[in-house]
Amino acid sequence: MSASLADWLTAIGAVGQLGVLSAAVLYARGQVNEAKELRRAQTRPYVIVYLTLNSVSRFLVELAIENIGATAAHNIAIKIQPQLASTIGPNSSARINQWTPLTSGIPTLAPGQRLSTLFDSLLTRYAPGHSLPRHHEVGVSYQGVGAVAGPWDDTFDLDIEILRNMEYVGEKTFVDLVDEVGAIRSTMKDWSDIGGGLKVLTQDLKTFQEERDQWRRQRIADPRAGGLWAPGQEPRSDEIPQNTQAIAL
């Protein structure tokens, strides 16, 4: 093999190695960038605005603002178009639009923190004579801290239609527990005894069983000793059924 051919082959091999190294560097850089973006997404604040049904009454709709991110959100500003309209009271539309988080924003919303207010009733909103917006566009802007400082800007669609015709299984809540406790308290007030209140006599189980067995033995030996008849009214021995001892007590 001539020297010039060997040089050419060596040069081609070097170029190939350089290409492989360049591809490896680009791949590693891509992996690093993806890891950074994933870390940023996992640690960023994420403020959402949505409609949800009230936990006590499934006909009432709440407007909720929640930070589902991993870090706190600051200087939160919310804009809703068109303006919200409500049917649950004479000034309900003005009240919902003057809710402080919508007019003045939220200074800080911690991770997992949720703010909500009563928005409307499905019973009255879809009653004849009402023609209200069913879709609203929500813009949310806020800031984080450190590497996820932002600013962050997100857009959401409020669609009250998704809450219509929903089927659900009734569940007991803390309100039901309070009602039940109140009913028990009312019942206990009706319990009475001499001296007022309910008197409870407690006895050791073993002692109770021994006294019960002794009473049964006395009843078998002498049915008149069971205390079933008042003094002077005990039946004669010939009036006591012959199978008294076979009676299961």
User: Are 57 and 158 within one domain?
Assistant: yes
Domain that holds residue 233: 205-246
User: Are 158 and 209 within one domain?
Assistant: no
Cis peptide upstream of residue 223 (ω within 30 degrees of 0): no
Report the Cα 67 to chain-centroid distance in Å.
Answer: 16
Determine contact, residues 44/144, Cβ cutoff 8 Å. Answer: yes
Asked if residue 176 belongs to a domain, the reply is no
Cα separation, 78 vs 145, in Å, equals 19
Cα separation, 201 vs 182, in Å, equals 25
User: Are 123 and 213 within one domain?
Assistant: no
Determine contact, residues 74/143, Cβ cutoff 8 Å. Answer: yes
The 10s digit of each residue's pLDDT in 190-245 is: 766 555 556 565 667 778 778 878 877 777 777 665 555 445 555 455 544 444 44
The 10s digit of each residue's pLDDT in 99-132 is: 999 999 999 999 999 999 999 988 888 877 777 8
Asked if residue 77 belongs to a domain, the reply is yes
User: Are 136 and 80 within one domain?
Assistant: yes
User: Could you tell me the two tokens for 32?
Assistant: 């690093």
Domain total for the chain? 2
Answer with the one of 110, 137, 163 that is the final residue of a domain. 163
Asked if residue 15 belongs to a domain, the reply is no
pTM: 0.58
